[in-house]
Structure 1
Amino acid sequence: MTTDVVVLNGGSSSGTTTVARALQGMLDDAWLLLGVDDLVDALPRHGPGAAATITFPPDGSVLVGPVFLRVQEAWLAGIAAIARAGVGVLLDDVLLAGGASQDRLAAALSGLDLLWVGVRCDADVAAAREAGRADRVTGMAVAQAEAVHRGVRYDVEVDTSRASPEDCARVVLAALAA
């Protein structure tokens, strides 16, 4: 069976997007890179609909509201449709609830062949990266560094604090070929 979706899970500033971009450049076919940041960017920023989606308090936590869960469900149905139409998807995600998030994602992508990739990064390295990013709340990287991996089962894991994005992508590519 051919892999339909590669799910890359890692905390904020762990390097999931950079690894996914490197992998995208190594694949023989055109794979779409879709990430949770794309979903968050598409959400309303102001007005009544914004309050119940997702918020980022100054302590680095992430609060997910009921509207976000409904929108995320639709988003994942769209990703599943893309993959079922024969286009590979690199899904760059942050499984905030660890294994419970993985179970919810697996159910949404049921019937598709998934490759689960854990993108790890030492909290201090991720925090240093986060400090250089204007689009992150200080503390997210440290809060998420281990929490997003709790209870998650992976097919392959990489560590961006110890290997380059290209080397990490090659590990994932080898797992795809296996």
Structure 2
Amino acid sequence: MQTGRVVLLNGAPRAGKSSVACALQAQADSPWMNLGIDAILRHVTPAKMQPGIGLRPGGERKDLEDFVGRSYLALYKSIAAHANLGFNVIADVGHHDSYVNLNGNWALCLRELQDIEVMIVGVFCPLDDILERRLHSEGPYLTQCADGEIPKPILLWQEEVHKPGIYDLEIDTARKSPDECAKLILSELLKNRNFGARKMIIAAY
């Protein structure tokens, strides 16, 4: 059985990761399983443990950090299990290391994907576009403070999520549509080159 491929989309909330994942599923000739933050939060994580692996930077909920760490490892073990059974996997994630008690470095998770081809994509979106999307999104998304200032958690996401900033491919969802981003990712996969970001991130830590 041939091992499946894995594409990880890393970026801040409302950067467009989920839309790109859905577009890739629609365009790809072979089936891609969509795992990641959206799947875990909407269908797996108990309400009392929310926001789970969507816990934002800044150490606001140190009581959840142990749960978050184990949840992330479980997610990556699941991604590896799917790939080892021949499924291609695309997963939207939002990694950061801005916790109080948790060692949240990405390398701990990426080590679960040994011997699997992994393409890591940085999903970027300018802050103005992020704020606009938050205003028109359903769900408990922060928009602005009472004094009109940008809330600190939104700024922290922009600062922390792209550390260490090592990617096989970077996309800007303000410049390209989800379909265009998905087409670019699939094009890069077809080149069958060796993607090295996973090993570089592990080495960086």
Q: TM-score, with normalisation over the residues of structure 2?
A: 0.74
- Tell me, yes or no, if the aligned pair for 1:3 and 1:114 is still in contact at 8 Å: no
- Tell me, yes or no, if the aligned pair for 1:7 and 1:92 is still in contact at 8 Å: yes
- Is 1:38 the counterpart of 2:39? The answer is yes
- Tell me, yes or no, if the aligned pair for 2:37 and 2:54 is still in contact at 8 Å: no
Aligned 1:27-176 pairs, distance under 5 A: 27-41=28-42, 42-46=44-48, 50=49, 53=52, 63=61, 64-97=64-97, 101-138=105-142, 139=151, 140-176=153-189
- Tell me, yes or no, if the aligned pair for 1:7 and 1:91 is still in contact at 8 Å: yes
Deviation of the 1:130 alpha carbon: 1.2
Residue 111 of structure 2: SS of its match in structure 1? helix
CA distance in 2, matches of 1:69, 1:56: 10
CA distance in 1, matches of 2:31, 2:12: 26
Structure possessing the higher relative contact order (Cα contacts under 8 Å, 6 or more residues apart)? 1
What fraction of aligned residue pairs are identical, expressed as a percent?
29
What amino acid is aligned across from residue 72 of structure 1 in structure 2?
Answer: Y
- Structure 1 regions of 5+ residues with no counterpart? none
Summarize deviations over 1:67-126 as a string: whole Å, max 9, x none.
Answer: 22113212221111011000000011111239x643122112122110011110001101
- Tell me, yes or no, if the aligned pair for 1:126 and 1:142 is still in contact at 8 Å: no
- Tell me, yes or no, if the aligned pair for 1:118 and 1:157 is still in contact at 8 Å: yes
Residue 161 of structure 2: SS of its match in structure 1? helix
Q: TM-score, with normalisation over the residues of structure 1?
A: 0.84
- Going from structure 1 to structure 2, the CA distance change for 1:72 and 1:152 (only over 3 Å counts) comes to same
Q: Which structure 1 residue ranges, 4+ long, deviate > 6 Å from structure 2? A: 59-62
What amino acid is aligned across from residue 112 of structure 2 in structure 1?
Answer: A
What amino acid is aligned across from residue 109 of structure 2 in structure 1?
Answer: L
- Structure 2 regions of 5+ residues with no counterpart? 99-103, 143-150, 192-205
Residue 166 of structure 2: SS of its match in structure 1? coil
Backbone CA RMSD of aligned residues: 2.8
CA distance in 2, matches of 1:136, 1:174: 35
Could you say which structure has the larger radius of gyration? 2
Match of 2:27 in 1: 26
Structure 1 or 2: more strand by fraction: 1
